Structure formats: structure tokens, C-alpha cells
């Protein structure tokens, strides 16, 4: 996406398998298809979208074995597929782009390489962030109370020097008491809504709510999927599934057609409360591969 760090991923063919190398891992696979995708991800803000590009390795049934987000050359990807003797599919110029639904159809053992080093937020980092926020809050209170112009100038100079040394987003996190204080408040608010059955929350940030009492809404961070009305013609039931090492949530209409496919680890008790509160039918299934493929292929909306 525009403004995001550029992924560092290489994909090559060594004569026996594809080899994907990135700072966050290495994978060797023998796929059936190289799938180059692009789609517009809608944001909460009106008329705001971001373009998501990537390359995926698909198995013989079209399930994603490996997802490699980033801008990939069509010419290079096609040449690599030809050299390896696998199919190449380009979904970047289609009028109706199926990429989100395709990416949600994961094969057992699937992986996604982001091409960036993984940063682990340890307990030490949390202590440093909290102390920095508290000190900043105390300094702000002193400046406001004492009207210390010289002190304010000194803090401004120190802030500019710190911004020069640190990445801006980390500096904001370290120095913003608001960011530190609002995070646990937001977390408790979400957990309260989930306990009441008003919402569903999955690790990774996917949030399911019912807007205005009649619109089924799915968001993840700033990303939002089109809302569908509850009822016989819209979302009438939920299916919580587990297929080998994969799990997820399906929202379907009264005839069983899948409208939303939301992969992830969903708490069964939370899903039961949500379905009961909004009068939705609920099934918990372990589908066969054929059933799983059918769901994946017919999903109208998905979060990959």
C-alpha cells in the first residue's frame, strides 16, 4: 500500500520447488498456479480506498499455500511461472476482482510472508513506553501550570531532536500518554460488547457488529466490508468451522449461500451469544475438503 514499508521478498525456482525468502521466513513449495492479484480495500472514511497488490501460490484446488503481499512485475511473474511449468493467473485488471475471496480460501499449513522484520513488543518495551508516557504527561502538566516558556522551548527542542533519532511513529508512541491510556480503554470496551453479544472479535483485529439493529458489518482496523441486511434475503445464519488446521466464520443467507468468509480463531461462546442476541441460526461443523472448497468459491465478501 502507498506509504507502507516496501516488502523485501524474493521468489525463485530452483528446478524442484519455488523458494520464497524474506526477513520473516523462508518457504519451499510446489504450487499449481502463480496468482497475481490487486484489489481496492475500502476504508471507514467515505470514498477512501487503498490498493492492495500481491502474489499468491495456489494448489491444484485454487487454495492459497503462500501469500506474498507487494507489487510484483507481471512480466517477471509470468516468465517465472513459464520456466517452472505452472499456470499463471493475473487478476489485476479484472472488472470484478475476486482476490479477497481467493485469499481467504487458505490451504492447510498456509503462510503469509510480509517481507519485513518481525518486531516483538516485549515487557521491557511496554515499561519504557508507559514510563515515557507518564513523564511526558507530567512535563505537559508542569508547563501548563507554570507557563514556563523557556521550559516549553526546551521540551520542543528535545522533541525535535528525538524525532530526528527515532522513527516518527515510535516517537509518537513513546511520548503520547493519550495513546497509552486509550488502548486499554478501547480493549475493555470491545470485550464488554463481546460479552453482551453485541459484537464479535477475533485475533488479528476482525470485528463483527450489527449496525442500527439490521446491518451486518465487518471491519478490520480501518478496513471495512460492504454491509448486508439481516434477514432471509441477507445474513440469516452463522457457521463456525474447523478444517484440519484452519478455522473461521461464515455468514450465509436463508438458502445457505455464503455471503461472508472470515478466517480466524473465533471463540465459540462469543459466537453463540452473538447469534442468540441477533436471532441468527448457528452451526458448528468440521467440513470435508469438498464442502470447504464450495464455501470458499461461493463467498461474496471475505477478509483475506
Contact 153, 45 (CB under 8 A): no
pLDDT at 93: 77
Per-residue tens of pLDDT for the chain, all 304 residues: 556 667 789 999 988 899 999 988 899 999 999 999 998 888 776 667 888 899 999 999 999 999 999 999 999 999 999 999 999 999 887 666 689 999 999 999 999 998 876 555 566 656 665 666 667 666 666 655 655 555 555 555 555 555 455 444 445 555 455 555 555 666 676 677 888 888 999 888 899 999 888 999 999 888 889 999 998 889 999 999 999 999 999 999 999 999 999 999 999 999 999 999 999 999 999 999 999 999 999 999 998 7
Q: Of all helices (H) and strands (E), which one includes residue 240?
A: strand 237-243
Q: How far apart are CA 246 and CA 264, in angstroms?
A: 8
269, with CB counted inside 10 A (0-12, 13-18, 19+), is exposed
39, with CB counted inside 10 A (0-12, 13-18, 19+), is buried
The pTM of the full predicted model, rounded to 2 decimals, is 0.76
2 closest CA partner among 48, 36, 44: 48
- C-alpha distances in angstroms, 1 versus 40, 50, 78, 263? 10, 6, 22, 22
55 closest CA partner among 33, 22, 40: 33
Contact 289, 129 (CB under 8 A): no
Contact 52, 39 (CB under 8 A): yes
Q: How far apart are CA 195 and CA 25, in angstroms?
A: 37
CB atoms within 10 A of CB 290: 8
Q: How far apart are CA 226 and CA 159, in angstroms?
A: 42
36 closest CA partner among 83, 71, 85: 71
- C-alpha distances in angstroms, 8 versus 112, 115, 170, 190, 196? 13, 5, 21, 35, 43
- Partner residues linked to 218 by β-bridges: 208
pLDDT at 177: 53
Q: How far apart are the first and last CA of the chain?
A: 15
Q: Which three cell numbers stand for residue 293?
A: 472448497
Amino acid at each position: 500500500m502507498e506509504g507502507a514499508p516496501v516488502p523485501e521478498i524474493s521468489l525463485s525456482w530452483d528446478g524442484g520447488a519455488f523458494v520464497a525468502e524474506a526477513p520473516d521466513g523462508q518457504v519451499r513449495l510446489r504450487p499449481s498456479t502463480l496468482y497475481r492479484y490487486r484489489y481496492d480495500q475500502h476504508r471507514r472514511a467515505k470514498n477512501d480506498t487503498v490498493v492492495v497488490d500481491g502474489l499468491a501460490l495456489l494448489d491444484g484446488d485454487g487454495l492459497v499455500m503462500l501469500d506474498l503481499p507487494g507489487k510484483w512485475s507481471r512480466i517477471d511473474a509470468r516468465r517465472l511461472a513459464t520456466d517452472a511449468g505452472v499456470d499463471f493467473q493475473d487478476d489485476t485488471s479484472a472488472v470484478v476482482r475476486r482476490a479477497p475471496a481467493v485469499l481467504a480460501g487458505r490451504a492447510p499449513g498456509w503462510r503469509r510472508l510480509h517481507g519485513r522484520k518481525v518486531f516483538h513488543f516485549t515487557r521491557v518495551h511496554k515499561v519504557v513506553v508507559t514510563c515515557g508516557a507518564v513523564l511526558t504527561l507530567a512535563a505537559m502538566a508542569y508547563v501548563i501550570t507554570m507557563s514556563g516558556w523557556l521550559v516549553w522551548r526546551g521540551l520542543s527542542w528535545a522533541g525535535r531532536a528525538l524525532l530526528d533519532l527515532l522513527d516518527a511513529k515510535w516517537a509518537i508512541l513513546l511520548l503520547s500518554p493519550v495513546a497509552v491510556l486509550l488502548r486499554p480503554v478501547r480493549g475493555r470496551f470491545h470485550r464488554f460488547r463481546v460479552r453482551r453479544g453485541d459484537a464479535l472479535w477475533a485475533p488479528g483485529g476482525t470485528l463483527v457488529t450489527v449496525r442500527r439493529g439490521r446491518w451486518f458489518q465487518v471491519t478490520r482496523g480501518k478496513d471495512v466490508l460492504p454491509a448486508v441486511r439481516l434477514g432471509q434475503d441477507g445474513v440469516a445464519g452463522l457457521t463456525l468451522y474447523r478444517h484440519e488446521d484452519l478455522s473461521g466464520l461464515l455468514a450465509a443467507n436463508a438458502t445457505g449461500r455464503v455471503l461472508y468468509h472470515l478466517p480466524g480463531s473465533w471463540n465459540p461462546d462469543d459466537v453463540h451469544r452473538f447469534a442468540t442476541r441477533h436471532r441468527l441460526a448457528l452451526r458448528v461443523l468440521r467440513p470435508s475438503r469438498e464442502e470447504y472448497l464450495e464455501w470458499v468459491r461461493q463467498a461474496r465478501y471475505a477478509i483475506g
